[in-house]
Structure 1
Amino acid sequence: MNIAIVGATGYSGIELLRLLLNHPEANLTYLISNSQSNKQLSEVYPHFSGVKESMLKTLDIPKVAKEVDVVFFATPSGVSKNFVPEFLEYGVKCIDLSGDFRLKDPLLYEKWYKNSSASEKNLEKAVYGLSEIYENDVKEASLIANPGCYPTATLLGLLPALKEKWIKSDSIIIDGKSGVSGAGRSVSIGTHFAETNENLKAYKLGSHQHIPEIEQILHTESGIQSNVTFSTHLVPMTRGIMCTMYADLQEHKSTGEIIDLYKQFYEGKPFVRIRPEDHWPTTKEVSASNYCDIGFMSDARTGRLTIVSVIDNVVKGAAGQAVQNLNIMMGLDAKTGLNLSPVYP
Structure 2
Amino acid sequence: MINVGIIGATGYAGNELVRILTGHKDAKIVWYGSRSYIDKKYAEVYQNMFQIVDDECLDDNMEELAEQADVIFTATPQGFCASMMNDEILSKTKIIDLSADYRIKDAAVYEKWYGIEHKSPQFIGEAVYGLCEVNREAVKKARLVANPGCYTTCSILTAYPLAKEGLIDMNTLIIDAKSGTSGAGRGAKLPNLYCEVNENIKAYGVASHRHTPEIEEQLGYAANEPVVINFTPHLVPMNRGILATEYASLKKDVTYKEVKAVYDNYYQNERFVRVLGEGVCPETKWVEGSNYVDINFKIDPRTKRIIMMGAIDNLVKGAAGQAVQNMNLMFGLPESEGLELVPIFP
Return the TM-score normalized by structure 2: 0.98
Which residue does 1:94 correspond to in 2?
95
The question of whether the paired residues in 1 share the 8 Å contact of 2:180 and 2:239 is answered with: yes
In the alignment, the residues of structure 1 paired with residue 169 and residue 290 of structure 2 have an alpha-carbon distance, to the nearest angstrom, of 32
- Aligned ranges for residues 76-91 of structure 1 at < 5 Å? 76-85=77-86, 88-91=89-92
Which residue does 2:152 correspond to in 1?
151
SS of match in other structure, 2:233: strand
- Aligned ranges for residues 186-225 of structure 1 at < 5 Å? 186-225=187-226
2:39 alignment partner AA:
N
Quote the offset at 1:267 in angstroms. Answer: 2.7
SS of match in other structure, 1:17: helix
Which residue does 1:275 correspond to in 2?
276
- Aligned ranges for residues 23-38 of structure 1 at < 5 Å? 23-38=24-39
How much is the aligned-residue C-alpha RMSD, in angstroms? 1.0
2:34 alignment partner AA:
S
1:167 alignment partner AA:
I
Unaligned segments of structure 2, at least 5 residues = none
1:192 alignment partner AA:
L
SS of match in other structure, 1:124: coil
The question of whether the paired residues in 1 share the 8 Å contact of 2:90 and 2:143 is answered with: no
SS of match in other structure, 2:206: coil
- Aligned ranges for residues 145-294 of structure 1 at < 5 Å? 145-294=146-295
Quote the offset at 1:179 in angstroms. Answer: 0.2
In the alignment, the residues of structure 1 paired with residue 247 and residue 61 of structure 2 have an alpha-carbon distance, to the nearest angstrom, of 47
Higher mean C-alpha deviation, range 114-123 or range 233-242: 114-123
Q: Kindly, what percent of the aligned residue pairs are identical?
A: 43
In the alignment, the residues of structure 2 paired with residue 157 and residue 290 of structure 1 have an alpha-carbon distance, to the nearest angstrom, of 15
Quote the offset at 1:59 in angstroms. Answer: 2.5
In the alignment, the residues of structure 2 paired with residue 281 and residue 61 of structure 1 have an alpha-carbon distance, to the nearest angstrom, of 40
* Superimposed CA distance per residue, residues 102-131 of structure 1 (whole angstroms, 9 cap, x where no aligned partner): 011011011000001143320011000001
The question of whether the paired residues in 2 share the 8 Å contact of 1:93 and 1:142 is answered with: yes
SS of match in other structure, 1:293: strand
1:262 alignment partner AA:
Y
Quote the offset at 1:147 in angstroms. Answer: 0.3
2:45 alignment partner AA:
V
* Superimposed CA distance per residue, residues 272-323 of structure 1 (whole angstroms, 9 cap, x where no aligned partner): 0001111111000000000000011011111000011000000000000000
In the alignment, the residues of structure 2 paired with residue 36 and residue 299 of structure 1 have an alpha-carbon distance, to the nearest angstrom, of 52
The question of whether the paired residues in 2 share the 8 Å contact of 1:5 and 1:73 is answered with: yes
In the alignment, the residues of structure 1 paired with residue 289 and residue 308 of structure 2 have an alpha-carbon distance, to the nearest angstrom, of 22
Higher mean C-alpha deviation, range 221-230 or range 59-68: 59-68
Does the C-alpha gap of structure 1 residues 300 and 87 become closer, same or farther in structure 2, counting only changes over 3 Å? farther
- Is residue 48 of structure 2 the alignment partner of residue 15 of structure 1? no
Quote the offset at 1:256 in angstroms. Answer: 2.3
1:156 alignment partner AA:
L
Quote the offset at 1:84 in angstroms. Answer: 2.9
Which residue does 1:113 correspond to in 2?
114
Which residue does 2:341 correspond to in 1?
340
In the alignment, the residues of structure 1 paired with residue 258 and residue 190 of structure 2 have an alpha-carbon distance, to the nearest angstrom, of 46
Which residue does 1:320 correspond to in 2?
321
The question of whether the paired residues in 2 share the 8 Å contact of 1:130 and 1:147 is answered with: yes
The question of whether the paired residues in 1 share the 8 Å contact of 2:70 and 2:94 is answered with: yes
In the alignment, the residues of structure 2 paired with residue 216 and residue 189 of structure 1 have an alpha-carbon distance, to the nearest angstrom, of 32
Quote the offset at 1:224 in angstroms. Answer: 1.1
SS of match in other structure, 1:125: coil
The question of whether the paired residues in 2 share the 8 Å contact of 1:61 and 1:87 is answered with: no
- Aligned ranges for residues 302-317 of structure 1 at < 5 Å? 302-317=303-318
SS of match in other structure, 1:195: helix
The question of whether the paired residues in 2 share the 8 Å contact of 1:106 and 1:118 is answered with: no
Does the C-alpha gap of structure 1 residues 87 and 306 become closer, same or farther in structure 2, counting only changes over 3 Å? farther
In the alignment, the residues of structure 2 paired with residue 74 and residue 211 of structure 1 have an alpha-carbon distance, to the nearest angstrom, of 20
1:114 alignment partner AA:
G
Give runs of ≥4 in structure 1 deviating > 6 Å.
Answer: none
Unaligned segments of structure 1, at least 5 residues = none
Quote the offset at 1:86 in angstroms. Answer: 5.3
1:237 alignment partner AA:
M
In the alignment, the residues of structure 2 paired with residue 80 and residue 39 of structure 1 have an alpha-carbon distance, to the nearest angstrom, of 23
Quote the offset at 1:91 in angstroms. Answer: 2.1
